């Protein structure tokens, strides 16, 4: 049976990661893989309700963290683990690294308590009882906070996170850098301050290095996206 793959996309708001998620999903589909495309917070009916609360209702950092992990637990049990068990490719827009970056580094919530919640929520969902589920690969779209702020200035009406000041996003960016430094084998840094085509090529190369995509498939998809 084909082994499931779990890939997460991470980065501060405005980093541009979302514009490449569907392209990567299609590249895997072109190679005959079944893809589950999902997001956090969200991915299940319950988690989507929690997402709405988290993005729009005022709350303290502990409440934010608890909501994020509650949504994640349901997401893992209902969507991610079953898809991986079926041998699918799971591509998730944000996962636990976002909680450490936003609630930890951004809000200043205790990282040790976040780690305890991570162990509690992400252990016991897989067939292996002691496995702490995390992505096989995290694509980190690294972008200076000032550039991200410029992009967000012309975006839709901001949610509660997108409306935060530049200092908040600078802390979040440092939080992502710390996570990448702590787990270099899991992270692939994407220079998100490059052109869209160059960013896509970095995504493809990360997959090729893992042996998950053939380079011609990835290149064809990138060219198609660029012309669209």
Whether residue 110 is annotated as binding a ligand: the answer is: no
Whether residue 15 is annotated as binding a ligand: the answer is: yes
- CA–CA distance, 104 with 65 (Å, rounded to integer): 9
Whether residue 13 is annotated as binding a ligand: the answer is: yes
CB-based contacts of 71, cutoff 8 Å, min separation 6 = 40, 41, 42, 43, 44, 46, 47, 50, 51, 54
Q: Is the dihedral of CA 15, 21, 36, 136 positive or negative?
A: negative
Other residues' Cβ atoms within 10 Å of the Cβ of residue 224: 12
Whether residue 220 is annotated as binding a ligand: the answer is: no
Q: Nearest 5 degrees, angle CA 93-CA 97-CA 102?
A: 95
- CA–CA distance, 117 with 110 (Å, rounded to integer): 11
Whether residue 17 is annotated as binding a ligand: the answer is: yes
Pairing mode, if any, of strands 187-191 and 5-10?
unpaired
Whether residue 16 is annotated as binding a ligand: the answer is: yes
Interhelix angle 45-56/61-75, nearest 10 degrees = 160
Whether residue 190 is annotated as binding a ligand: the answer is: no
Binding site as annotated, residues: 11-18
Binding site as annotated, residues for ATP: 11-18
């Amino acid at each position: 049976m084909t082994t499931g793959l779990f890939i997460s996309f991470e980065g501060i708001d405005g980093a541009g990661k979302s514009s490449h998620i569907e392209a990567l999903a299609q590249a895997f589909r072109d190679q005959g893989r079944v893809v589950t495309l999902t997001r956090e917070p969200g991915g299940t009916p319950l988690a989507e309700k929690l997402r709405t609360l988290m993005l729009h209702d005022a709350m303290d950092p502990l409440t934010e963290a608890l909501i994020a992990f509650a949504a994640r637990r349901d997401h893992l049990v209902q969507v991610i683990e079953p898809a991986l068990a079926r041998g699918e490719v799971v591509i998730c827009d944000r996962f636990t690294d976002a909680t450490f970056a936003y609630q930890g580094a951004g809000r200043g919530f205790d990282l040790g308590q976040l780690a305890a919640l991570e162990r509690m929520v992400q252990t016991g969902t897989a067939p292996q009882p002691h496995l702490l589920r995390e992505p096989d690969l995290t694509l980190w779209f690294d972008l200076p906070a000032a550039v991200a702020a410029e992009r967000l200035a012309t975006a839709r009406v901001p949610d509660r996170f997108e409306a935060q000041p530049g200092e908040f996003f600078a802390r979040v960016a440092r939080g992502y850098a710390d996570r990448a430094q702590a787990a270099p084998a899991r992270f692939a840094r994407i220079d998100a301050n490059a052109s869209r085509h160059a960013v896509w090529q970095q995504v493809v190369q990360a997959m090729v290095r893992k042996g998950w995509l053939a380079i011609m498939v990835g290149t064809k998809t990138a060219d198609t996206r660029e012309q669209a």
